[in-house]
Amino acid sequence: MTRAKPFTTIAALLFLLAAVVHAFRLYAGFNVVLGSHVIPVAASWGFALGALLLGVMLLREARR
């Protein structure tokens, strides 16, 4: 019998949401400015893949 892991599921959904936001940024091509620094759009590739990977891994963990 598996136990529900609601906090792991919530964390997974937050990571997947972050991956979707980064994918939208890649699609739309808008800039992010932090102070005087412009974060390049290409940085979203790594962030999107990392967030997607963490989200999927957390969903698998929540099902155990």
Q: What is the model's pLDDT at position 63?
A: 82
Q: Which domain holds residue 30?
A: 6-63
CA angle 60, 63, 2 (to 5 degrees): 150
In a domain, 26, yes or no: yes
Strand ranges, E, within the chain: 32-34, 37-39
Q: What is the model's pLDDT at position 31?
A: 87
In one letter, which amino acid is 42?
A
Q: Across-strand partners of 34?
A: 37
Q: Give the span between the Cα atoms of 55 and 26, in whole angstroms.
A: 19
Q: What is the model's pLDDT at position 6?
A: 87
Q: What is the model's pLDDT at position 2?
A: 62
In a domain, 1, yes or no: no
In a domain, 39, yes or no: yes
Q: Give the span between the Cα atoms of 6 and 27, in whole angstroms.
A: 31
Q: Across-strand partners of 39?
A: 32
Model confidence over 6-59: pLDDT tens digits? 899 999 999 999 999 999 999 998 888 999 999 888 888 999 999 999 999 999
In a domain, 23, yes or no: yes
Number of domains in the chain: 1
